[in-house]
Amino acid sequence: MKRIFSIVLAALCLLSLAACTDSATKDIDIAAVKEQIITDLAIEGAMDVESDRLLNLYGIAAEDVAESACFVTIEGVFPDEIVMVKATDADAAKRVAESLNTRLDEVKVQSQSYDPENYAIAQECQVLTEGNVVALFLSPKHAEMEEIFSSAE
């Protein structure tokens, strides 16, 4: 009886660990998130940033990128920079996050000395990581964009 109980308990522990692992790693369709952001938030003038430009603009190496969905706008006082990268693995995701944090820090430094309103917006922005997907929403609408990203399945 003890043996059967032990086996059942061990099986339940394994199932609970498997359930935690599955829910922790969502597979986000970043292209769909990009389109939803553009549509829902009425973004005009979005210019795509292709994966091969990520190294020059953000320091993200091509070998770390499985897929990207990025765009910029040049309208307004605080142009939008939307970067979503599906990294090739967890280590690549860490490197992508470091690169995007560096970019965010650059924007903060640039705006701190000349534009308090833009500096305040930049202070609110953050790099988000969901599994191997890393995102940065530099925009006055960052909170709405982050919500769309976080609720994506």
Question: 113-134: per-residue pLDDT in tens?
Answer: 888 888 999 999 999 999 999 9
Q: What's residue 27's pLDDT?
A: 83
Name the pTM for this structure.
Answer: 0.81
Rounded to whole angstroms, the Cα distance separating 94 from 90 reads 6
Side by side, the strands of the sheet bearing 127-130 are: 47-48, 65-72, 81-87, 133-138, 127-130
Nearest to 81 by CA among 109, 52, 43: 43
Q: What's residue 72's pLDDT?
A: 95
Q: Residue for token digits 């650059």?
A: 106
Burial of 38 (0-12, 13-18, 19+ CB in 10 A): middle
Mean pLDDT computed over every residue of the chain: 85
107 close to 80: Cβ distance less than 8 angstroms:
no
Q: What is the pLDDT along the chain (153 residues), one digit of tens a residue?
A: 445 434 433 444 444 444 444 445 578 999 999 999 999 999 999 999 999 999 999 999 999 999 999 999 987 667 899 999 999 999 999 999 999 999 999 999 988 888 888 899 999 999 999 999 999 999 999 999 999 999 987
